[in-house]
Amino acid sequence: MVTQNPTDHPAGIRLPETSVSPAEEAASPLVFDVTDLTVSYGGTPAVRATALPIEEHRVTAFIGPSGCGKSTLIRCFNRMNDLVPGALVEGRILYHGDDLYGSEVDPVEVRKRIGMVFQKPNPFPKSIYDNVAFGPRILGLTDGLDERVEKAIRRAALWDEVKDRLKSSALTMSGGQQQRLCIARCLAVEPDVLLMDEPASALDPIATARIEELMSELKTRYTIIIVTHNMQQAARVADRTAFFSVDVAEDGSRCGRLVEFDRTNVIFTNPREKRTEDYVTGRFG
Amino acid sequence: MRETPLERGFRALLYLSVGVGLVTLLVLTITVIGDGLPFLDWTLISSPTSFNPDIAGARTAILATLWLMGIVIVLAVPIGVGTAIYLEEYADRSRLRNRLIELNIQNLAAVPSIVYGILGLGFIVNGAGLGRITLAGGLILTLLVLPTVIIASREAIRAVPNSIRYGAFALGATQWQMIRTQVLPAATPGIATGSILGLSRAIGESAPLLMLGVILTASKDPDPFSRFIALPVQIYRWTIDPSDKFHGLAAASIVVLLVLLLSMNTVAIIIRNRSHRTW
C-alpha cells in the first residue's frame, strides 16, 4: 500500500486535487463494457482483459510498459484489428449494450461512430480542408460542409492557425498542428468516442500540452480513451486509468494483461496491486 | 581525403562505363540524323508508304503507331492498374494461387517480345480470327506491356504508407472508398510514369509486329480494322531494301521515332519530378 501524500508522489507526478468531487466519483453510463477479452495474433495471445468498463464523457487512460498490449486493446474498440491478418478477438465488448463483435455488426459502421487518432500524425496528402471534409464526404454529409469543417477545426483548437490557409497542403503544417488536424478530422463526423493511441508521443512538450488541454475540453462532448506510455500524462488528463503489464510464461512467451482499473487518483496513490504500485512509483517498467 | 590508386582506378572504370554508353548513343544519333536529314521533310510526314522511294513517306506508319499507342493505353492501363490494386490491396499473399500469379507476372516481364508475337499470331490473329489488323497488333503490344504496367503500378501503390490507409479506414471508409480516395490519387504519378515508360517500350517494338506481316503500299490511312505497318517495322523494311533512298527514309523515320520516344520519356520524368513527395 502506498500511503504518501498524493501531491508528493515518489515519481514526481503531480496529481489533480485529491478531494474527489461527487461527479468524479459517481459512475457514468457505460459506453463500452469489456468482459473476458483475449486478443491474439496468429494464435498467440497478445493481451487479456477480464473486466474493463469505459464510462461516458470521461477520459480513460491505458498505461503500462511496452508490449503490454494497450495499443492492441484500443484497436478492438473500432475494430481496427479486423484489418490485421491473423488477429482474433475473443470475449465480449458491449457498445452501449450491444455486442460490438456481433455477426450483424459492420466494422465500417462502427468506425463511423468511433474515431481514432494515431501515434504518428497521418494527415492525408491533401489540403487542410479536404482532410477534415474526408469523413463527411465518405458519409455523404455534404450539406453545409464548410460549416461542419469549420466547427470541427474550431473544436480541435486549430481554427485561428489555419483559417487563412485551408487550401494549402496539410503536409506543410507542424507535427502538433497535424495531430490536431487529425483530431479535427475525427470530430467532423460527430463521433461518439475518440480513441487516441499515444497521440502526443511524436510531439514536443508545447504541442503535447495543447493536445492535453484539448482532451479535457473534448470530454464534455465525447468519450475519450487514450493510450499513453507517459504516466504524468495519464495523471494529468485521465479520470480513469487502466494499468497493463506483461506476463512472461515459462516458455518465454509474453502476453499483456489488464492488472488494475480504477479512478486515476486511486491508481496513482493507493493501488490494490503490487505491480501497479511498482510501476507508478517508477520501480519497474 | 586522398584517393588510393585502387580507388582512382575504380573511379576511372566507372567514368569509362558511362562514357561507352554516352558515346555510343551520341554516334548513333549523329549518324542517323546525318543520314536522314535530306529526307526529313513534309513528304515524310504526309505521304503514305510506297514501292517508289521518291514518293514514299511514313505517314501510314506514324498513324499506325499512334493507333497502336491508343489501343495499348486504353487496354493496358485499366487492366494493369486493376491487377496491381487486386494484388496489393485485396489478394491474400498467404494463398498459393496469389503467389503463383505474382511469380508469373514477374516472369512475363522477361519473356522476349517475339514470343508475344507468336502467341498473338496463334491466339489473336488466327485463333480468334481477328486477322492481321491494327487491333490485333495493339492487343499483342498490350500483352507485352501489361507486366511492366502491373509491376510499376504495384510499386506506386506499395509506396503509399499504411498510416494513410488506416487513417481512411478509421474514419469509416470502405476498402474501395479508401483505395479510390487515398491510394489511387497518391499512386497516380507512379502509375503514369510506369505506364508511359511501358508504352514507349511498346512503340519501339518491331519483332512481335513482324509476325503479322507488313503492307508495303497503302492507298489510305490505317484504322483499327485495316492492315497496317507500324513505324519500327517500316524502318526495318526500308533498311533491308537495296535502294539508298529507302535507307535515307529509314534514317529520317528513326529520327521521328526518337522524337516520339524522347518526348514520352520527358513527360514521364516531368510527372515524376512534379510529384516528389515525402510522407
Cα distance between residue A78 and residue A178, in whole Å: 22
B172 → closest Cβ in A120, A123, A139: A139
Of A24-33, A81-90, B109-118, the poorest mean pLDDT is in: A24-33
Burial of A151 (0-12, 13-18, 19+ CB in 10 A): middle
Q: Which of B166, B177, B182 sits opposite A80 (nearest CB)?
A: B166
Residue A116: closest CA among chain B residues belongs to which residue? Answer: B170
Q: Write out pLDDT tens, residues B217-254.
A: 777 889 999 999 999 999 999 999 988 899 999 999 99
Is the per-residue pLDDT at A17 higher than 60? Answer: no
Question: For position A226, what pLDDT does the model report?
Answer: 96
**Region B40-65: what's the mean pLDDT?**
90
Closest alpha carbon to A181 in A209, A153, A142? A153
From residue A22, alpha-carbon distances to A61, A261, B236 in Å are 20, 19, 92
B162 and A CB contact within 8 Å? no
pLDDT in tens, A198-255: 999 888 888 899 889 999 889 999 999 999 988 889 999 999 999 999 988 888 888 9
Q: How far is CA A285 from CA A2, A244, A260, A280, in A?
A: 18, 11, 16, 9
Q: How far is B111 from chain A (nearest CA, A)?
A: 34
pLDDT on residue A111: 95
Helices within B86-212 (DSSP H only): 96-108, 113-119, 134-158, 162-170, 175-178, 184-204, 207-210
How much is the pLDDT for A201?
Answer: 87
* Chain B touched by A201 (CB under 8 Å): no
Whether A135 and B92 lie within 8 Å, measured CB to CB: no
- Is residue A14 over pLDDT 70? no
Instruction: Name B178's bridge partners.
Output: none
Residue range A15-35: average pLDDT?
70
Q: What is the mean pLDDT of residues B34-45?
A: 90
Per-residue model confidence (pLDDT) at position B273: 82
What is the share, in percent, of chain A residues with pLDDT greater than 90? 71
pLDDT, position A3: 45
**Can you tell me the mean pLDDT for A149-166?**
93
B182 interface with A at CB cutoff 8 Å: yes
The interface residues of chain A toward chain B in range 247-276, judged by CB-CB distance below 8 A, are none
Q: Enumerate the H helices of chain A as residue ranges.
A: 22-25, 70-77, 107-113, 128-139, 145-155, 159-162, 175-187, 205-218, 231-237, 264-269, 274-280
pLDDT in tens, A94-116: 999 999 999 999 999 999 999 99
Q: Which of A108, A122, A139 sits opposite B163 (nearest CB)?
A: A122
CB contact under 8 A, A116 and B277: no
Beta bridge partners of A260: A243
Residue B87's pLDDT band, with cuts at 50, 70 and 90, is very high
For chain A, give the percent of residues with pLDDT over 70: 90
Q: Among B50-54, B211-215, B250-254, name the one with the lowest average pLDDT.
A: B211-215
Higher-confidence residue: A147 or A201? A147
Q: Are A184 and A160 in contact (CB under 8 A)?
A: no
User: How far apart are alpha carbons A145 and B271 in whole angstroms?
Assistant: 32
CB contact under 8 A, A111 and B169: yes
Task: Look at A182 and B167 and tell me if their CB atoms are within 8 Å.
Answer: yes
Q: Do A80 and B163 touch (CB under 8 A)?
A: no
Q: Is B110 on the interface with A (CB under 8 A)?
A: no
Q: Is the pLDDT of residue A1 over 50?
A: no
Alpha carbon separation from B141 to A266, B45, B84, B222, B260 (Å, rounded): 72, 24, 19, 17, 17
Q: Which residue has the cell 510464461?
A: A249
pLDDT of residue A18: 47
User: pLDDT tens across A55-96, in order?
Assistant: 999 999 999 998 899 999 999 999 999 998 889 999 999 999
C-alpha span between A79 and B172 (Å, rounded): 11
pLDDT score recorded for residue B214:
76
Q: Which of B258, B137, B265 is nearest to B199 (CA)?
A: B265
Long-range contacts of range A217-220, CB-CB < 8 Å, 24 or more positions apart?
A217/A155, A217/A157, A218/A155, A218/A183, A218/A187, A218/A194, A219/A57, A219/A58, A219/A59, A220/A57
Partners of residue A189 in chain B, C-beta under 8 Å: 171-172
Of A88-97, B179-188, B264-273, minimum mean pLDDT range: B264-273
In sequence order, the β-bridge partners of residue A89 are A39
Q: Is A86 left (phi over 0), alpha (psi -120 to 50) or beta?
A: left
* Contact flag A124-B171 (C-beta cutoff 8 Å): no
- Asked if A116 and B172 come within 8 Å (Cβ–Cβ), the reply is no
ipTM at complex level: 0.87
C-alpha distances out from residue B3 to B6, B9, B19, Å:
8, 10, 21
Strands (E), B47-109: none
CA neighbor of B124 nearest in space, from B86, B75, B78: B75
The whole-number pLDDT of residue B269 equals: 86
Mean pLDDT for the stretch of residues B58-76: 94
For chain B, give the percent of residues with pLDDT over 70.
98
Within 8 A of B163 by CB-CB distance, chain A residues are 118, 120, 122
What pLDDT, on the 0 to 100 scale, is given for residue A21?
Answer: 54
Best CA proximity match to B256, nearest among B50, B28, B59, B55 = B59
Inter-residue contact A124 to B169 (CB < 8 Å) = no
**A contacts of B276 (beta carbons < 8 Å):** none
The pLDDT of residue A5 is 47
pTM of the model: 0.84
For residue A72, give the C-alpha cell.
492492441
Rounded Cα distance, B247 and B239, in Å? 5
DSSP code, position B123? I
Q: Which residues of B touch A108 (CB under 8 A)?
A: 172-174
* pLDDT average, residue stretch B180-198: 92
pLDDT at B173 over 90: yes
